[in-house]
A and B are shown apart, each in its own frame.
Chain A
Amino acid sequence: MTAPFWTEGDPIADRAAPDGPIETRWERRKFAAKLVNPANRRKLTVIVIGTGLAGGSAAATLAEAGYRVRSYCYQDSPRRAHSIAAQGGINAAKNYRNDGDSIYRLFYDTVKGGDFRARESNVYRLAQVSVNIIDQCVAQGVPFAREYGGLLDNRSFGGTQVSRTFYARGQTGQQLLLGAYQAMERQIGLGNIEMFARHEMLELIVVDGRARGVVVRDLVTGEVSTDVADAVVLASGGYGNVFFLSTNAKGCNVTATWRAHRKGALFANPCYTQIHPTCIPESGTHQSKLTLMSESLRNDGRVWVPRRAEDCGKPAADIPEEDRDYYLERIYPSFGNLVPRDIASRAAKNVCDEGRGVGPGGLGVYLDFADAIQRLGRKAVEAKYGNLFEMYQRITGEDPYEVPMRIYPAVHYTMGGLWVDYDLQSTIPGLFVVGEANFSDHGANRLGASALMQGLADGYFVLPNTINHYLAAGPFDAVSPEDPAVVEARAQVEDRLARLLAVDGDRTVDSFHRELGHIMWEYCGMERTDEGLTKAIGLIRGLRDDFWTRVKVPGTGEQLNQNLEKAGRVADFFELAELMCIDALHRAESAGGHFRAESQTPDGEALRHDDEFSYVAAWEYGEVPTLHKEDLTFEYVHPSTRSYK
């Protein structure tokens, strides 16, 4: 008999969240949190890993508050973090449209959209803080889209019936990130932030049970060094690149959070991944990444496939209206093309599985703007989506004004991440986790335009108000470079780098990464089964052993060595991949982005099992991982079956 994949440990609970009326919980937490007097803040140092929306805004805000900040990113400049690629927009409960929106409605939509697998307290706070984010960004000069009267424009976005999404054409993430980046650069100029670009965190330093520093590698010189501080903030993003092909930037990786996990931080809900419905399909084996087309396109584009499989080879224009199946409008008449991402993605997979997909390999569906162009005119469509259409044409060589776009789902976002309490503190005291790197607010499925909201909420408003409570007990005892914990962490990094270089096998890092991605997409992608996941765990273990005996990493560790960087990241992806499959295997229900084929309604919709699975699965690292359950209770939004029909 094979060993069990996991064991169950004690339950855990979020002890930082106040109870009582949800509307005042955040106010009360802020008031109860200890403060640090301004003179003492200068004596406290915070390390921030990552410079995206969460890390950039956190670093800038902590520095403005008077803390000493040291910030690290693997890119050549903090402005390049992958938040920059977010296209569509950012939600906020401003109700500028007078269309019935409110903090409560944004809270309600987000809890429901997350398929009742997120904490009510956190989500309510997110909705509250959302309004401040827009104010903050406008003050920084973020050029949001405006109307002729000079006021901000809004649009509705996947999965909601109100217009609460603020946007800057198709480049909202870029503009928001530049706002945070510029605030950060100002603090760098003032000497309050020390910035280390082209540096990668490879290990967490834990001294006497507290997170006290990191081991980093200078990617240019290869030098490995240690940095100690009073607290560490991880803002290192999500782990979608475990699938090799995803919409993430090529460098996005799980190493920072995984290393922290190995040092004791619990990893929550790793199986919750978001497959985005509107990406440009794969064009061949050379494919190195996938490109997302903003789902704002679904506001005006209509999704369809041929009614009959035999029509799939025909040009779209030769398929008459009556032979087209606008399947989202047909199956979900009230939400139509605007159903949430998980539902749109699975529906696309289903029609392709039926043999009705279009384009190379039959892995695509049409997103058609012919009606919108007729209704609004080409100019209006161009004003709204011009840059997205250009991007599509540049990549595919096809003109979407003339022929419908082809789209297919791709991995886009990971809802899982390090477990944090209401203060955004992980299970390691002094280790805080913000943005996509934590698991906190999106439950099993994230709504469109909510990632930017969460990243900035965490960085600008939440963390700077909760980290004080921890730092008020500092400055902590100085940590010497000879401290055994520091020496050990550093040795772990050096040993691993040496091992990767020493294998000198016959396969490239990318070839392993690609194969791992295939396994994950096949068995831990849009549809998961007990049998498939069990098989995947075996395949991953085999491939991982192969990796450590056959990988070929050229060059040395004392230079810019991009393959060495990749090898370390892929090695961590192997370990994460196994935990993702175990988490997906243990969760024998369908919820949000996690669809278990064994758990569906007679008409093929996701079937949750609230009696058994209404909890956060927080995993402790070990040879055999240990599951700690955090029960979720719903006092305000009563769990119901999500229906978009």
Chain B
Amino acid sequence: MDIQVRVWRQSGPSDKGRMVTYDVKDISPDASFLEMLDVLNEKLILDGDDPVAFDHDCREGICGMCGMMINGVAHGPERATTTCQLHMRHFKDGDVIDVEPWRAAAFPVIKDLVVNRGAFDRIIQAGGYITAPTGTAPDAHATPVPKPDADAAFEAATCIGCGACVAACPNGSSMLFTAAKVAHLGLLPQGQPERDTRVIDMLEAQDEAGFGGCTNMGECTTVCPKGIPLTLIGRLNNDYRKALRNT
């Protein structure tokens, strides 16, 4: 199939940036979206142009490195799908596709479609862990965990930290990301001792990093490639209220 892509080109943080249109011809419907960009880049290099910079690594939908706005939607039109797992069979011959980077104050553009998501790491540093230095652990069966809790913790833990939630949010909020980690650890018995400080510290770090506030728009969960549910934000708010009371 033949398509056109209009890609955001920005040479660096200080460049204003603009959309540039490219023809991409003879693309297999079985190619992934990133493989389509690979084909474009091979051509750009041989033509003496600057190839489009984009982040990617595992190309299996699990590392969370890739992500771009495709026709205005984070990770594109398919639900529960990262950009690398989106395939060209979901587009039609002759389509014109807009490709832009995540846009959020806390994720500054580095180049073209590459943004800096270091703010996510800073939220985790603030409390997204259980303090369990190596060597201190009791036997794994010492504390049984009810299966429903373990399953729910797992569901929350599947967040890949791609940042689509932030990119989709009109407020540029990272609430779904933070809520997923608060739920994952808070649902497990091992996570209880730090439950109150965790939610308070992570929310503070989130504000410091420049993310916006959450107004329950729900765009985040709609684009989340792992289907992290909006209810976790309610859970976080509940935890936060309790934590404020307790501390």
- Chain A contacts to B: CB under 8 angstroms: 57, 60-61, 64, 75-82, 84-85, 94, 96, 132, 134-141, 143-152, 168-169, 171, 174-175, 178, 181-183, 185-186, 188-189, 195, 197, 220, 247, 249-251, 283-284, 286-289, 291-292, 390-391, 394-397, 460-461, 464, 506, 508, 510-511, 552, 554-555, 559-560, 562-563
Distance in angstroms from A302 CB to nearest chain B CB is 25
The 8 A-B residue pairs whose C-beta atoms are closest, nearest first, are A150-B144, A189-B125, A139-B137, A182-B129, A143-B154, A139-B132, A135-B137, A283-B30
Stretch from B35-43, B167-175, B210-218, B234-242 that touches the partner: B35-43
Closest residue of A by beta carbon distance from B89 = A397
With known contacts A141-B184, A464-B134, A171–B158 Cβ distance under 8 A: yes
Cα A562 to Cα B110 with chains together (Å): 13
Pairwise interchain contact B133-A64, C-beta atoms closer than 8 A: yes
A134 touches B140 (CB 8 A): yes
Question: Contact at A143–B184, with CB atoms within 8 Å?
Answer: yes
Within 8 A of A (CB), among B137-191: 137-141, 143-147, 150-151, 153-154, 157-158, 160-161, 184-185, 188, 190-191
Asked if residues A136 and B157 are in contact (CB atoms below 8 Å), the reply is: no
B42 and A175 contacting across the interface, CB-CB below 8 Å: no
With A141-B184, A460-B134 in contact, is A150–B146 under 8 Å at CB?
Answer: yes
> Given contacts A77-B161, A169-B154, are A148 and B31 in contact (CB under 8 A)?
no
A residues less than 8 Å from B110 (CB atoms)? 220, 560
The closest CB in chain A to the CB of B88 belongs to A286
Closest Cβ–Cβ distance, residue B101 to chain A (whole Å): 13
15 residue pairs A–B, Cβ–Cβ below 8 Å: A76-B117, A80-B58, A80-B64, A85-B60, A85-B63, A139-B138, A140-B132, A140-B190, A183-B132, A249-B63, A286-B38, A288-B35, A289-B59, A460-B134, A464-B134
Q: Chain A residues near B153: list those with CB within 8 A.
A: 141, 143
Nearest chain A residue, comparing its CB with the CB of B115 = A76
| Neighbouring A residues of B65 by C-beta, 8 Å | 75-76, 80
Residues of A within 8 A of B49 (CB): 554
Let me know if B231 is at the binding interface, CB within 8 A: no
List, in ascending order, chain A residues with CB within 8 A of B140's CB: 94, 134-135, 137-138, 152
Chain A residues with CB under 8 Å of B124's CB are: 79, 181-182, 185
The answer to whether B45 and A563 have CB atoms under 8 Å apart is yes
Instruction: Please state if A287 and B35 are interface contacts (CB–CB under 8 Å).
Output: yes
A-facing mask of B18-38, CB < 8 A → 1, else 0?
Answer: 000000000110111011101
Q: Is the CB of A96 within 8 A of B141?
A: yes
Nearest CB on A from B233, distance (A)? 20
Residues on the B chain within 8 Å of A139, using CB: 130, 132, 136-138, 190
B45, A508: Cβ atoms closer than 8 Å: yes
Question: What's the minimum C-beta distance from B229 to chain A, rounded to whole angstroms?
Answer: 16
Contacts of A250 in B (CB 8 A): 56-59
Q: Nearest chain A CB to B33's CB is how many angstroms away?
A: 11
**CB of B97 within 8 Å of the partner chain:** no
With a cutoff of 8 Å between Cβ atoms, the chain A residues found around residue B230 in the complex are: none
Interface centre among B27, B44, B120, B153 (most CB of A within 10 A): B153
Question: Which residues 77-121 in B have Cβ within 8 Å of A in the complex?
Answer: 78, 80-81, 85, 87, 89, 110-111, 114, 116-118, 120-121
Give Cα distance in the complex from A291 to B125, angstroms: 32
The secondary structure that dominates the B interface is: loop
**Is the CB–CB distance between A560 and B114 below 8 Å?**
yes
What's the least CB distance linking A275 to chain B, in Å?
Answer: 18
Residues of B within 8 A of A (CB): 11-12, 27-28, 30-32, 34-36, 38-39, 42, 44-46, 48-51, 53, 55-65, 78, 80-81, 85, 87, 89, 110-111, 114, 116-118, 120-121, 124-126, 128-141, 143-147, 150-151, 153-154, 157-158, 160-161, 184-185, 188, 190-191
Closest to A178 in B: B157
B118 and A77 form a contact (CB under 8 A): yes
Specify which chain B residues have a CB less than 8 angstroms from the CB of A84 in the assembled complex. 58, 62-63
A383: nearest residue on chain B (CB-CB)? Answer: B151
Beyond A394-B81, A397-B89, whether A291 also contacts B60 by CB under 8 A is yes
CB-CB nearest in chain A for B31: A286
B residues less than 8 Å from A82 (CB atoms): 57-58, 63
Q: In the complex, how many angstroms separate the beta carbon of A557 from the nearest chain B beta carbon?
A: 14
Inter-chain contacts of A137 with B (CB < 8 A): 140
Chain A residues with CB under 8 Å of B63's CB are: 75, 80-82, 84-85, 249
A143 touches B161 (CB 8 A): no
CB < 8 Å neighbour of B28 from A135, A181, A283: A283
For the complex, what is the distance from the CA of A325 to the CA of B46, rounded to whole Å?
48
- Cβ contacts under 8 Å, A64 to chain B: 133-134
**In the bound complex, do residue B131 and residue A186 qualify as a contact, i.e. CB atoms below 8 Å apart?**
yes
Distance to closest chain A CB from B144 (angstroms): 3
> CA–CA, A141 to B128, complex, Å?
11
Q: Are the C-beta atoms of A79 and B130 separated by less than 8 Å? A: no
Given A61-B133, A139-B130, 16 extra CB contacts under 8 A: A76-B117, A78-B121, A80-B64, A84-B63, A85-B60, A139-B138, A141-B130, A143-B157, A145-B154, A146-B150, A249-B59, A508-B46, A510-B38, A552-B45, A554-B45, A559-B11
Bound together, the chains give a CA A77 to CA B12 distance in angstroms of: 20
Most-contacted residue by chain B among A82, A132, A143 (CB, 10 A): A143
Which of chain B's residues have a CB closer than 8 A to the CB of A169?
154
Contact A286 B28 (CB under 8 A): yes
Which chain B residue lies CB-closest to A282? B30
Contact present for A140 and B130 (CB under 8 Å): yes
The smallest beta-carbon distance between B44 and chain A, in angstroms, is 8
Evaluate contact between B59 and A288: CB separation under 8 angstroms: yes
Of B132, B136, B161, which is within 8 A of A79 by CB?
B161
Chain B residues contacting A189 (CB-CB under 8 Å) are 125-126
